[in-house]
Amino acid sequence: MSRARVISFINYKGGVGKTTTTYHIGCSLAQHHNKKVLLVDIDPQTNLTFLCAPIEKWEEFKRKSGTIATLYQRFLDRKPLETRRFIWQTPVGAGRERIANLDLIPCDIDLLGEDLGGGQISGTFPQIEALRRQAREFLRDRLFLRNCIREVEHSYDYVLIDCPPNLYLMTQNALLASQWYVITAIPDHLSTIGLNILQRKVDKIGEVVGSAVVFAGDQQDLAVARLGALVFVKVRIGGNVITSTHSQQMAKIRASLPRTCPVLGYTTELIGYSEAAENCLPVWMHGSINARRAAEKREYEKITEEFLRRFETLVKVKQAAS
């Protein structure tokens, strides 16, 4: 199998459907398109992990195998990562009905203290060798996740990373591990402003990494992920149409995006998503009335179809150019 498509889901704002979107796209890729998918939870809130499995199962896996926090400690201790040991195979499903192609590297709150920054390049001018060592350490801090994924990426078609709602150290790791990133956004005024800020901040991270590579004398081909797509979430519907306020904001946000960044679709606020989440299932696998109503809309299935079309096309373009 060739190298996986590695895609991060980011936004420095919370409550914008990032985790639910990562989860449902991953589940749909595996269940509806027969893709081998690895979900990676690097958000210390651990919500993606708890969408995949109940807390008792997570505690059991953590006790026996560990989580990404354990894996990160191995990285800090400069031990072999052995990423495969920390992959939870087929955690999603009820009873015998499990999503066979979907695996997870779970998170836990122990990662929280490691997401506060670190490795900043000083504003002073030390001797060149000291500066070079500092730059190398800066880069090493941000290559943990890239190194983990490199060990297992040939076993998967897609690796989807759910990032914390910030652009600190772990999210920077994700951006260096990924080829692309996807933004989820609510179509409101603040999101319109926030998306432009987010893109500028990601570009700035890329510039700083590039400078560190020069200082370090490092020959690695390091680059942050490129903006791949956007998904609208929690869109308000009046009757069968999008409300005028959200419709106008969606048009405004689309116009502010680079021409190369498509919108994959949108989801609405439906109680069925919450009910399915409480039972650690994607909405189409849950049997409540509300979940069935949500599943009938096929919101995430449609988004996944566009997601697949988008990133398969990008891979072909990249291959043709190389």
Task: Note whether 184 and 233 are within 8 A (CB).
Answer: yes
pLDDT at 129: 74
Enter the DSSP assignment of 154.
G
pLDDT at 119: 44
Q: How many CA atoms lie within 13 A of 47 on its CB side?
A: 18
Enter the DSSP assignment of 4.
P
Task: Note whether 39 and 102 are within 8 A (CB).
Answer: yes
Distance CA 76, CA 255 (A): 43
Q: At which residue do the structure tokens 């589940």 appear?
A: 27
Output the CA torsion 294→298→301→307 (10° steps).
Answer: -110
Q: Please give the structure tokens belonging to residue 310.
A: 């988008």
Distance CA 293, CA 60 (A): 34
pLDDT at 240: 79
Q: Which of 61, 71, 52 is nearest to 145 (CA)?
A: 71
Task: Note whether 15 and 232 are within 8 A (CB).
Answer: no
Q: Which of 251, 232, 240 is nearest to 297 (CA)?
A: 240
Q: Which of 12, 15, 18, 27 is nearest to 231 (CA)?
A: 18
Q: What is the pTM of this model?
A: 0.93
Q: What are phi and psi of 10, to 5 degrees?
A: -135, 155
- The CA distances from residue 266 to 189, 220, 285, 314, in Å, are 17, 38, 20, 21
Angle 176-300-109 (CA atoms, 0-180°, nearest 5)?
50
| Element at 249 (helix H, strand E) | helix 244-256
pLDDT at 121: 46
Pairing outcome for strands 180-185 and 97-98: unpaired
Q: Which of 75, 185, 71 is nearest to 137 (CA)?
A: 75
Regions of the chain short of the pLDDT cut 50: 116-125
Sheet holding 5-10, edge to edge: 88-89, 102-105, 37-41, 158-162, 5-10, 180-185, 226-235, 263-268
pLDDT at 2: 64
Distance CA 300, CA 22 (A): 10
Task: Note whether 39 and 103 are within 8 A (CB).
Answer: yes
Distance CA 135, CA 313 (A): 35
Q: Kindly tell me the burial class for residue 319, based on how many C-beta atoms sit within 10 Å of its own C-beta (0-12, 13-18, 19 or more).
A: exposed
pLDDT at 123: 47
